[in-house]
Amino acid sequence: MKITFANSRVEKFFTDYGKMKKALPAAWVRTIKMHMDWLESAECFGDYLSLGLGRPEQLSGYRNIRYSVRISANARLILEPDATQETIMVCTEIEVEGVSDYHGDKENWYIP
């Protein structure tokens, strides 16, 4: 599956896990790397969703479709598939938005 990034800052963190370790706990970075490897190896987003790795869940309240994948109890990897609701299972491109704690009234971005 093709993976793109929301902006250059997010891309810097996700292409250099050493840099990410300076900003996030090492356990989170290991989990993020595992999810990124699984996403890259999946043929389409539906394959990844069917495995249930990281308990992916669709987020509500956004104009575009967004999913979160569990990194820790509160931290989530935020993904935006390049698809509509009808084509989500065959989507072959996703955009990584970053790592966020979206619980509560506002989002707290660790990697925006």
More confident of the two residues 74 and 104: 74
Q: What is the mean pLDDT of residues 29-44?
A: 94
* 110: three-class secondary structure by DSSP: strand
pTM (predicted TM-score): 0.89
> Torsions phi, psi of 78, nearest 5?
-100, 125
- CA dist 55 and 46 (Å) reads 13
Contacts 24+ apart (CB under 8 A), 77-82: 77/32, 77/35, 78/102, 79/39, 80/6, 81/45
